[in-house]
Amino acid sequence: MTILDGKKIAAEIRAELKAQIADLLANHQRAPKLGIVIVGHNPASETYVNNKMKACLEVGIEAIRIAFEDSITEKELLAEVDKLNHDDSIDGFIVQLPLPKHIDEQTITSAIDYRKDVDGLTPENVGRATKGLPCIISATPRGIRELLSRYAIPTDGKHIVVIGRSNIVGKPMASLLMQKHERGNATVTLCHSHTAHLKEICLSADIIIVAVGHPGLLTADMVSPGATVIDVGITRVDDSQSERGYRIKGDVDFDNVAPKCDFITPVPGGVGPMTIVSLLQNALQAYNSKR
C-alpha cells in the first residue's frame, strides 16, 4: 500500500511554480496577481483564505485579500465582482464560499469573467471543461488528476466511482475523468445521496473518489483489494486532546480501508494541499492566457 502524499507533491509543484515566476521577473515581467474575496468571518473560510494567501506569497504570486462584512448585499457584491472583472492589474480572483444565506452563490460565481475564474466555477468554464475545450478546471479535480498522474496511476479504461455530485468536486471530477485525455478515458460512475447499491458499485471500482463530508462513509467492505482510494472529505470533529479543540476527518475509514488498497490519500495531507497548489497553477494559467 502506498500513501499518496499530497503534501510532498504539492511542495514539488510549488517549487516548479516558484521557478517559473522567478523566470518571469528575471525577464522584467510583473508577477501574477490573485484577488481573494471573503465575506463575513466564518472561521473555516478565514483559515482557507490565510492558507491560500500564504501559498501565493511562497511562490511569488501577489495575493490581495478583499474583505466585506456579512451585511453586504448581493447587488453590492455583484458590483465588486464587476470591478474585479474590469481591473487589469488582477489576473484572476476567487470568491471564498460559503457566502451568507442572503447571497446566492450561483449568481455571484456566474458573474465572474471566466478568464479570471481561477476556481473554474463559471458556467463558461464548466461548459468548456465538459466539451474538452481549453478552460480553467476547478482546483480540487485538477489537483486529484495531478496526484494520479504524478504517481503514474492509470485511468484509461478503468472504472472510477466518484461519490458526491457537488459543483466544486463531484461533477467536475467525473467530467474530467471521462474526457478523451491521457489522464481521462475512464468509465465513470457518479454516485450521490440517492444512489442505490453504493457498496456493490464501489466494489467494482478500480479507483474510488469520495467527496461527501461524512466521516467514515467509505468502509473496508466497500473496497476491492488493489483499489485506489482518494478521500476529499474534510470534517472538523471535536477533539479535546487537540490544541485547536478539533481534528480533521476524511470520508474514509482509513485504518481499515488502507490495508486493502494499492494507493490511498491520507486526511490531512492528501487532497487538501493539492487543491491549494492547483489554485496557484490556475492563477498562473490565467496570467499566461492574458499575456
Which residue has 528575471 as its cell numbers?
A: 26
Spatial distance between the Cα atoms of 107 and 90, rounded to a whole number of angstroms: 21
Nearest to 140 by CA among 211, 72, 89: 211
Near ligand NAD by CB under 6 A, which window of 77-85, 106-114, 180-188, 189-197? 189-197
- Would you call 119 a catalytic residue per the annotation? yes
Nearest to 287 by CA among 13, 17, 1, 102: 17
Q: 58-117: which residues touch ligand NAD (CB under 6 A)?
A: none
Near ligand NAD by CB under 6 A, which window of 114-122, 177-185, 226-234, 238-246? 226-234
Catalytic-labelled residue, pool 33, 52, 116, 171: 52
Q: Does 266 bind ligand NAD (CB under 6 A)?
A: no
Shortest gap between Cβ of 31 and ligand NAD (angstroms)?
Answer: 25
H or E element, residue 146 = helix 139-150
- Would you call 281 a catalytic residue per the annotation? no
Three-class secondary structure of residue 27 per DSSP: coil
Q: Does 158 bind ligand NAD (CB under 6 A)?
A: no
Q: Please give the angle made by the CA atoms of 189, 194 and 195, to the nearest 5 degrees.
A: 35
Q: Does 279 bind ligand NAD (CB under 6 A)?
A: no
Please count the residues of this chain forming the interface with ligand NAD, following the rule CB under 6 A.
Answer: 24
- Would you call 171 a catalytic residue per the annotation? no
Is there a contact between 228 and 218 (Cβ–Cβ < 8 Å)? no
Catalytic-labelled residue, pool 33, 91, 96, 171: 96
CA–CA distances in Å: residue 118 to residues 76, 194, 195, 215: 21, 31, 31, 29
Catalytic-labelled residue, pool 5, 91, 117, 119: 119
Shortest gap between Cβ of 231 and ligand NAD (angstroms)?
Answer: 8
Q: Does 233 bind ligand NAD (CB under 6 A)?
A: yes
- Select from 169, 207, 222, 279 the one that contacts ligand NAD (CB under 6 A): 169
Q: Does 211 bind ligand NAD (CB under 6 A)?
A: yes
Q: At what angle do helices 6-26 and 271-290 cross, to 10 degrees?
A: 20
Q: Does 275 bind ligand NAD (CB under 6 A)?
A: yes
CA–CA distances in Å: residue 48 to residues 36, 164, 167, 193, 273: 10, 21, 18, 27, 11
- Catalytic annotation, residues: 52, 96, 119
Residue ranges binding ligand NAD (CB under 6 A): 140, 163-166, 168-170, 191-193, 195, 198, 211-214, 232-235, 271-272, 275
